[in-house]
Amino acid sequence: MGWNDHIDDDDELDNLPAHARGNPFDVDAPFDPDDHWLESASSEHQLIAMRAWFKARYCDPAHETPYNGREGGYLFIHGGPYNPADELHERFGRFVDGDTIQEVVDELVAEVGEQWAPIREEFPPDEYDERYDFEPVEAEAPLERLQTRIEELKTTLALQTDATAKQLVARLVFSALIGALESFLWETAQHWIEEREDVLQRCIEKLPVFKERPIKLGDVFREHAKIKETVKGHLQHLVWHRWDQVGSLYKVGLGIQFPSVAAFEAPLIKRHHIVHRSGTDLDGNLILIDDADVMELAEKVEAFAAEVAAACLDKFLFEERPPSGHDLI
């Protein structure tokens, strides 16, 4: 039974605008709202989105969880139990008012209780595509490449053209800086997964996307043989500006403290409008970017990346490697 088997036929999601979905190109994935849309959405739409998000991931344990008659309770063998209050506040606490979240919590508790089971979805394979891979690089290379990209983008601002085209160039460069940061984060994570078997092992054992994935006994050897490709495939499909997922990868998988991303929240909204709304906001107003905006973002991107790179080097170059018995492949 998958996540969409628990969605009612008269699904309220039809009442949400098309841009409410944070993963619009992955129609097979559980509903996940766009954080920027959610923050400014009406309370009615926020309620719909949070209910849909929760019910796409959790269900009444009576559906999929064995019951222990002797002990008088469910056996949460697939994880859990999950409390709606904990899950909703953790996912939406930064974007939605606490009273609105509590309204959904109260509805869910009244419906099932405080103990929900995870939906045992058939995990879509993180298909590794060698066409999107890159050659192993030195530890310092991702940061050096980012710095080169930043300088190239800054140079683009100096192009002599009319005012209209110059504004377009500024918007494109502004957007490209976020893309350069995403590339840096991807390249850095993959480097250490390639370089360190203990990082690969930690990702498999600690990241929920892997540790909670069911594997049939007959598939164990086949899955083990391609375990690194599975993780790299996940990196290829990850949305690298979803800070909750990327932060978890770095903190839980790589074991380093992910710096604050607060400085990128507003630029990311502007970048979203530039890329997905042809440079206008929700009201149709043109997003205006000047050279100072670009230079400020460039400084923040480079400083953030330098902090991440330094944390990785401190941990992995000055930390004793695990014994070979920890190797996975």
How far is it, in rounded angstroms, from Cα 178 to Cα 267?
Answer: 8
Among the candidates 118, 150, 177, a domain finishes at: 118
DSSP code per residue over 41-53: S-HHHHHHHHHHH
Most confident of 119-133, 243-257, 298-312: 298-312
Quick check: 249 pLDDT over 70? Answer: yes
How far is it, in rounded angstroms, from Cα 309 to Cα 316?
Answer: 11
Among the candidates 118, 150, 180, a domain finishes at: 118
CB atoms within 10 A of CB 22: 19
From first CA to last CA, the distance across the chain in angstroms is 32
Calculate the CA dihedral of residues 78, 328, 139, 135 and round it to 10 degrees: -100
Least confident of 12-16, 197-201, 261-265, 266-270: 12-16
Quick check: 123 pLDDT over 70? Answer: no
Among the candidates 74, 95, 118, a domain finishes at: 118
Q: What percent of the chain has pLDDT over 70?
A: 84
182 within 8 A of 278, measured Cβ to Cβ: no
For residues 150 and 98, state if they share a domain: no
Specify if 88 maps to a domain: yes
For residues 108 and 22, state if they share a domain: yes
pLDDT value of position 75: 66
Q: Domain range spanning residue 112?
A: 3-118
pLDDT band (50, 70, 90) for residue 132: confident
Specify if 31 maps to a domain: yes
Quick check: 164 pLDDT over 60? Answer: yes
Contacts of 128 (CB under 8 A, 6+ apart): 226, 229, 230, 232, 233, 236
pLDDT value of position 48: 93
- Rounded to two decimals, the pTM is 0.64
Specify if 102 maps to a domain: yes
Mean pLDDT (whole number) for 155-175: 87
Length of the chain: 329
Please name the residue ranges forming H helices in the chain: 35-40, 43-55, 61-64, 84-92, 98-111, 141-156, 163-195, 197-206, 208-211, 220-225, 227-237, 243-248, 265-276, 291-316
pLDDT value of position 329: 45
For 199-218, b/e burial (b = at least 16 CB within 10 A) is bbbbbbeebebbeebeeeee
For residues 84 and 142, state if they share a domain: no
Quick check: 328 pLDDT over 70? Answer: no
**Residue showing tokens 């999950």:** 82
For residues 42 and 112, state if they share a domain: yes
For 156-171, b/e burial (b = at least 16 CB within 10 A) is ebeeeeeeeeebebbb
pLDDT value of position 69: 47
pLDDT band (50, 70, 90) for residue 213: confident
The first and second tokens of residue 258, run together, are 């992910």
pLDDT value of position 136: 75
Quick check: 186 pLDDT over 90? Answer: yes
- Distances in Å between the Cα of 68 and the Cα atoms of 65, 76, 117, 151, 280 are 10, 10, 15, 63, 56
Q: What is the DSSP letter of 257?
A: P
For residues 114 and 134, state if they share a domain: no
Looking at the structure of the chain, the number of domains it has is 2
Calculate the CA dihedral of residues 49, 51, 56, 58 and round it to 10 degrees: 150
Q: pLDDT tens digit string along 52-107?
A: 999 988 988 876 565 554 555 656 656 778 899 999 999 999 999 999 999 999 99
Specify if 123 maps to a domain: no
For residues 52 and 153, state if they share a domain: no
Specify if 125 maps to a domain: no
For residues 195 and 230, state if they share a domain: yes
